[in-house]
Amino acid sequence: MSTRPHGPPHGPLHGGAKPGPPVPRRRRWWRSLPALVGAGAVVVAIAVALLVISMGGGRQDVGTPAAARGLARRVTLSPSDWGAGFVRGAAYENTEMAQGLTDRNCAYLAQPIAGALAALQRTVGTPDRTVVAYARLVVYRDAASARADIARLRADTDHCRTEHDAAGKARWEDVHAVDVPALRGFDEVATEEGHRVTDEKGRTADNYYTYLSGRKGKYLMQSYVVRTAKRDGNRSAAAAALSLMLSRL
């Protein structure tokens, strides 16, 4: 797994019905939202984002933790940005400055983010928890720190095709990078998809995720979509989310 966010909460979503199957810890920051983020909505979101980007966007340089936190609150997506039917996660906002990475034995564990001023992750999902997603912005002190972090994410994805959670029994297979042509306007991107086959308690799981990261200067935007039993729509939804965040810088 590449640097993944701290992942979806294990509890039910606010306003949700009976909790569905547990959601993978990985790529928590760690899969289509076609029914909820319809194909048309995804296309429109990407088109609008690219238009704003081409016009220069509203990106501003921030140099203090307070300014970075303010920018993160404006840029990071909320439930309505994902489409009708999405609600807040039980642990909606996460400001922890840590990322999930694998060690040399392919064990997935949280590690501190070096050189970060602020980070904000917002987790959303459908009431039945068959789809969980999150958007995250990390603001670094300088572009070099952001470049080093996204490089670690790419290396992490290439490192292991199968990974396991150092703190539990979760296991992921078929971890690999993918080509996402829709991601434009970034200085560089890191992509990852995979399949969680075992949950935190060692039970059989069937969850497909897409985890995308895009860097623009000293800003790292990330989107993660995980879906139960299928991967259809994950990639387009995650790409639209990342492009929308870029348009807000």
Q: Give the pLDDT confidence score for residue 10 in this predicted structure.
A: 35
Q: Answer whether residue 26 is part of any domain.
A: no
Q: Please state the pTM of the whole predicted model.
A: 0.79
Burial of 143 (0-12, 13-18, 19+ CB in 10 A): middle
Q: Give the pLDDT confidence score for residue 62 in this predicted structure.
A: 86
Total count of domains within the chain? 1
Beta pairing partners, 35: none
- Please report, for the domain that includes residue 161, its CATH number: 3.40.1000.70
Q: Answer whether residue 130 is part of any domain.
A: yes
Q: Answer whether residue 137 is part of any domain.
A: yes
Q: Answer whether residue 21 is part of any domain.
A: no
Distances (CA, A) of 70 to 65, 145, 213: 9, 20, 20
Beta pairing partners, 8: none
Give phi and psi for 86, each to the nearest 5.
Answer: -90, 140
Give phi and psi for 202, each to the nearest 5.
Answer: 90, 10
Q: Give the pLDDT confidence score for residue 78 in this predicted structure.
A: 98
Query: Which residues in the chain come in under a pLDDT of 70?
Result: 1-60
**Structural Rg of the chain based on CA atoms:** 16
Q: Answer whether residue 119 is part of any domain.
A: yes
Q: Which domain holds residue 127?
A: 33-247
Q: Answer whether residue 227 is part of any domain.
A: yes
Alpha helices in 160-233, H assignment, sequence order? none
Q: Give the pLDDT confidence score for residue 90 in this predicted structure.
A: 87
Q: What confidence tens digit (pLDDT) does each residue in 12-43 have?
A: 333 333 333 333 344 433 333 333 344 344 44
Q: Answer whether residue 208 is part of any domain.
A: yes
Q: Answer whether residue 173 is part of any domain.
A: yes
